[in-house]
Amino acid sequence: MFGAVEGNSTFYALPPPETAKRWAKEAPAGFRFCFKFPRRISHELGLRRAEAETRVFLRWLEPLRERMGPVFLQLGPRFGPESTADLRAFLRGLPADLAVAVEVRNTGFFDNGVGERMLDDVLGEAGVDRVHFDTQALFAACEEDAALAEARRRKPRLPLRQTVTGRRPFVRFVGEPRIERNGPWLEPWVKAVARWVREGLEPHVFIHHADDLYAPDLARFFHARLVELDPALGPVPSWPGEDEASQGPEQLALF
């Protein structure tokens, strides 16, 4: 818990190489970065003729390779089953030792039929994980505020899946505003993650909130229930943001 971070900044632009080297040096032991492929590769090129851009991205990752969790390939809603061959070709062109997770948002990949089987076959043969993006709690919330409305505008509403196609199941959960109301929505993931851990897998779970100020509280809520099923996981360590809050305000930093 609190042992990894989604690196969404790389979706928009690559930070300077010096930044990657600094993160590699400053990250605590065991901490993992899950960086997102640049949108130029995933959305603008749709994975086609993206070799040059991919080489640049992989070169940028090099200083952090020992600190890497799955690299996160998010595909837009226009990338559907008809493009599965492009996904297969792209994944085959990546280094064999690079852990990758793929998020799809086209409803054709949630058809319980040919489209979904094609996706899972491609991911399974490559040993690549399927990202599960769960926004059910977000859209079920009764409250209305600016943060919630913006989150609903930006996030997709997709069917729930718990498919495992690799060794590192990848879950992104967006909760509803009141922490305690998330229990019914989190419970399927608590049970799945506990099962995956027992099976020797390495799940990566990222907990989001419409107002991410409360995301650490929701993560603790999730972990407390998980420990009830698997006490060996132990207590959650303090989050750097919580330590900073107890010491008073100071300049924000990555860690």
Residues present in the chain in total: 255
Report pLDDT for 186.
95
Report pLDDT for 238.
66
| Positions of the chain with pLDDT lower than 70, given as ranges | 1-2, 237-255
Q: Which residues pair with 133 in a beta bridge?
A: 172
Report yes or no: 155 and 113 within 8 Å, Cβ to Cβ.
Answer: no
- Rounded distance between C-alpha atoms, residue 216 and residue 241, angstroms: 9
Determine how many CB atoms are found less than 10 A away from the CB of residue 65.
Answer: 13
Report pLDDT for 79.
98
Report pLDDT for 151.
84
* pLDDT tens digits along 132-153: 999 999 999 887 778 888 888 8
Report pLDDT for 233.
82
Report pLDDT for 211.
77
Angle ∠(121,124,129) on CA atoms, nearest 5: 120
Report yes or no: 1 and 219 within 8 Å, Cβ to Cβ.
Answer: yes
Q: Name residues whose C-beta falls within 8 Å of residue 13's C-beta, 6 or more positions apart in sequence.
A: 38
Q: Name residues whose C-beta falls within 8 Å of residue 125's C-beta, 6 or more positions apart in sequence.
A: 88
Angle ∠(66,69,70) on CA atoms, nearest 5: 130
- Rounded distance between C-alpha atoms, residue 183 and residue 175, angstroms: 10
* pLDDT tens digits along 53-105: 999 999 999 999 989 999 999 999 999 999 999 999 999 999 999 999 999 99
Angle ∠(188,192,194) on CA atoms, nearest 5: 120
Residue 68 gets which letter from DSSP?
B
Report pLDDT for 252.
40
Q: In angstroms, how far apart are the furthest CA atoms of the chain?
A: 55
Report pLDDT for 242.
57
The domains located in the chain, with CATH, are: 4-246 (3.20.20.410)
Report pLDDT for 35.
96
Report pLDDT for 173.
96
Report pLDDT for 148.
84
Report pLDDT for 241.
59
Strands 170-175, 32-35: pairing is unpaired
Report pLDDT for 248.
44
